[in-house]
């Protein structure tokens, strides 16, 4: 996929609104719509319908939710949304709300269905179900059930328990299903969703990373003008792609700051200094603050205290660097007014949304910068999920090593050492981590896991036998996990051969390590990181 010329204005995109009724899957619905190459946004169910319609959506999807339509205070929706001529698709609670609002019948009869359920399609040639099997597995999660569709609707599917599990009104372009088509357990769910988007709503699948790049380049140029911007570059995917996108728009008006706190993995600082700069031509200011961070962390074992120290020191170093950039720019009459952040769409949704430019707040992902830093934000990734950010990075020509980099915590290896952080322990962990990453790559497992934290239990020692002698070394923990968004995660079932190679190499090549263990805890109850 190749990008259009940078100064080309991006066309206005068709937008699908996902109305969130408190569903655990609202973000997943938005992702599935985007996987169909249609742009989507999540809005709260409390948003007035007039405001929703003012966004000029091409379609609206009503999510599921934990409430019963009969509960006091349960979310409601103005009937006007169904009379505006905009195609609407209700799922689960949204389906029941559509039914009861338009005169159908929803019974609170105890007809419960949870988990995998067999769906019986009665109208196989319908808008939603054409080309799908008459019997298909779907994922249910409901207590109430629809027993009669509103007038003008055709019932197109049922289950053994629920007489109306799907209905359709092609004339008014209103559709609904009782189940969750967005989850993988609904075997033809994505196909049903795409049928609504393409056939029911008549939307063309034309949202691509080219759209994102072109749109953001135009917006950033308009926003920044002749001013300057800075970006805190961590080496992670989000900040790297955000920086590359802004650099595409304003070139030398952007300066990136990389703080080397000595807590990075092996080779990552060099990767940022060489590969990233070579790929983008970006202006990079590298601050070597390793001694400063090690001094501040000396004697500290409490994980929360370590996080606070690392965050505090990062702020101070970044402030100093940005002050130097501002001073240098001021000599040439160029004002540094903007700060680039790699905020993603889940961050926006989970913090309650919000639009426009804002001053830095302590909760932003730069690491808790003080509120008195009066930069305006540039957040070119705030509409994107993590996988979409990676695609934009590829579009911008960033190296695969950066684009496909696994998530890595801001405090770095400082929170992957259980115990005090010292240079010796960091060097030990860096070597073990490098071996694990290398073997996972050689085994072709990088894309199969979300990430694999490697943890040093620095305050724990165990007896071992190495070179015919007794040893008393540290254990290393491998924590491979699979996830879509890191909100929940399961431990990855890696091949024994790969685990064996990692264990053998670490115990052979890394001094003072005589044991490698595997963490097989899901999240919840465990977290992905140990500290």
* Residue 109: pLDDT band with limits 50, 70, 90: low
CB neighbour list of residue 443: distance below 8 Å, 6 or more residues apart: 494, 495, 497, 498, 501
Cβ atoms 389, 344 nearer than 8 A: yes
Q: Find the helix or strand (DSSP H, E) in which 340 lies.
A: strand 336-340
Percentage of residues in the chain having pLDDT higher than 90: 47
pLDDT at res. 209: 82
Closest CA to 179 of 219, 214, 139: 139
Angle at 330 between CA 325 and CA 332, to 5 degrees: 110
Q: What is the DSSP string of 57-120?
A: -SEEEE---SS-TTSTT-----GGGGSSS--EEEETHHHHHHHHHTT-EEE-S---EEEEEEEE
pLDDT at res. 49: 94
Residue corresponding to tokens 């066309």: 11
Q: How far is CA 393 from the centre of its chain?
A: 14
* Residue 105: pLDDT band with limits 50, 70, 90: confident
Cβ atoms 395, 213 nearer than 8 A: yes
**170 or 270: whose pLDDT is higher?**
170
Lowest mean pLDDT among 8-22, 240-254, 414-428: 8-22
Has residue 132 got a pLDDT over 90?
yes
Closest CA to 91 of 41, 26, 34, 154: 26
Has residue 400 got a pLDDT over 80?
yes
pLDDT at res. 352: 52
**440 or 360: whose pLDDT is higher?**
440
pLDDT at res. 469: 61
The mean per-residue pLDDT over the stretch 356-360 comes to 31
* Residue 359: pLDDT band with limits 50, 70, 90: very low
Q: Are strands 336-340 and 228-232 parallel, antiparallel or unpaired?
A: parallel
Cβ atoms 49, 75 nearer than 8 A: no
> pLDDT by residue (tens digit) across 49-99?
999 999 999 999 999 887 877 777 788 889 999 999 999 999 999 999 999
Residue 154, helix vs strand vs coil: strand
Residue 488, number of CB atoms within 10 A of its CB: 13
Cβ atoms 321, 285 nearer than 8 A: yes
Has residue 498 got a pLDDT over 90?
yes
The mean per-residue pLDDT over the stretch 12-17 comes to 85
Has residue 290 got a pLDDT over 90?
yes
What tokens appear for 403 in the block? 């684009």
Cβ atoms 486, 442 nearer than 8 A: no
Cβ atoms 171, 86 nearer than 8 A: no
> pLDDT by residue (tens digit) across 209-231?
888 898 899 999 999 998 889 88
pLDDT at res. 323: 82
Has residue 163 got a pLDDT over 50?
yes
* Residue 36: pLDDT band with limits 50, 70, 90: very high
The mean per-residue pLDDT over the stretch 507-516 comes to 92
Terminal Cα distance for the chain, rounded:
40
Has residue 362 got a pLDDT over 50?
no
* Residue 492: pLDDT band with limits 50, 70, 90: very high
pLDDT at res. 2: 32
pLDDT at res. 192: 95
pLDDT at res. 9: 43
Q: Enumerate the active-site residues.
A: 92, 180, 182
pTM of the full structure: 0.70
Q: Find the helix or strand (DSSP H, E) in which 260 lies.
A: strand 254-260
* Residue 503: pLDDT band with limits 50, 70, 90: very high
Residue 151, number of CB atoms within 10 A of its CB: 9
The mean per-residue pLDDT over the stretch 24-28 comes to 80
Closest CA to 383 of 415, 356, 345, 352: 345
What tokens appear for 224 in the block? 């920044």
Q: What is the DSSP string of 14-75?
A: PEEEEEESS-TTHHHHHHHHHHTT-EEEEEETTS-HHHHHHT--SEEEE---SS-TTSTT--
């Amino acid at each position: 996929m190749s990008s259009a010329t940078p100064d080309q204005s991006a066309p206005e995109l068709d937008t699908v609104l996902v109305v969130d009724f408190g569903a655990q899957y609202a973000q997943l619905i938005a992702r599935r719509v985007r996987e169909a190459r249609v742009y989507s946004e999540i809005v709260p169910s409390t948003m007035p319908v007039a405001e929703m319609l003012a966004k000029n959506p091409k379609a609206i999807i009503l999510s599921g939710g934990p409430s019963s339509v009969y509960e006091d205070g349960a979310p409601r929706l103005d009937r006007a949304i169904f009379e505006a001529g905009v195609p609407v698709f209700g799922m689960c609670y949204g389906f029941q709300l559509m039914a009861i609002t338009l005169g159908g019948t929803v019974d609170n009869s105890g007809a419960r269905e949870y988990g995998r359920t067999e769906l019986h399609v009665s109208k196989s040639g319908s808008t939603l179900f054409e080309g799908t099997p008459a019997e298909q597995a779907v994922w249910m999660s409901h207590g109430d059930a629809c027993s009669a569709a509103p007038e003008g609707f055709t019932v197109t599917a049922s289950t053994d328990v629920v007489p109306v599990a799907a209905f359709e009104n092609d004339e008014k372009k209103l559709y609904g299903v009782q189940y969750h088509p967005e989850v993988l357990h609904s075997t033809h769910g994505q196909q049903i969703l795409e049928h609504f988007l393409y056939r029911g709503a008549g939307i063309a699948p034309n949202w691509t990373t080219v759209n994102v790049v072109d749109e953001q380049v135009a917006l950033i140029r308009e926003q920044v003008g002749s001013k300057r911007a800075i970006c805190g570059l961590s080496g992670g995917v989000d900040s790297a792609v955000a920086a590359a996108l802004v650099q595409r728009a304003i070139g030398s008006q952007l300066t990136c700051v990389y703080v080397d706190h000595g807590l990075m993995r092996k080779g990552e600082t060099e990767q940022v200094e060489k590969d990233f700069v070579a790929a983008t031509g970006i202006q990079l200011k590298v601050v070597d603050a390793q001694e400063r961070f090690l001094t501040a962390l000396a004697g500290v074992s409490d994980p929360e205290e370590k996080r606070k120290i690392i965050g505090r020191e990062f702020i101070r170093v970044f402030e100093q660097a940005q002050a130097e950039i501002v001073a240098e720019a001021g000599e040439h009459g160029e004002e540094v007014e903007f700060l680039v952040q790699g905020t993603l769409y889940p961050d926006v949704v989970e913090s309650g949304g919000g639009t426009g430019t804002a001053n830095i707040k302590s909760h932003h992902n730069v690491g808790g910068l003080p509120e008195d830093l009066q930069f305006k934000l540039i957040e070119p990734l705030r509409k994107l999920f993590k996988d979409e950010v990676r695609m934009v990075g590829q579009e911008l020509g960033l190296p695969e090593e950066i684009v496909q980099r696994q998530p890595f915590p801001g405090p770095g290896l400082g929170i992957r050492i259980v115990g005090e952080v010292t240079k010796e322990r960091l060097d030990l962990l860096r070597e073990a981590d490098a071996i694990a990453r290398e073997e996972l790559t050689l085994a072709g497992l990088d894309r199969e896991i979300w990430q694999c934290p490697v943890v040093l239990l620095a305050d724990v020692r165990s007896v071992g036998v190495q070179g015919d002698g007794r040893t008393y070394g540290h254990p290393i923990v491998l924590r491979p996990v699979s996830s879509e968004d890191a909100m929940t995660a399961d431990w990855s079932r890696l091949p024994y051969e790969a685990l064996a190679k990692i264990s053998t190499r670490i115990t052979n090549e890394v001094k003072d390590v005589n044991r490698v263990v595997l963490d097989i805890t899901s999240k919840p109850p465990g977290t992905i990181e140990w500290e």
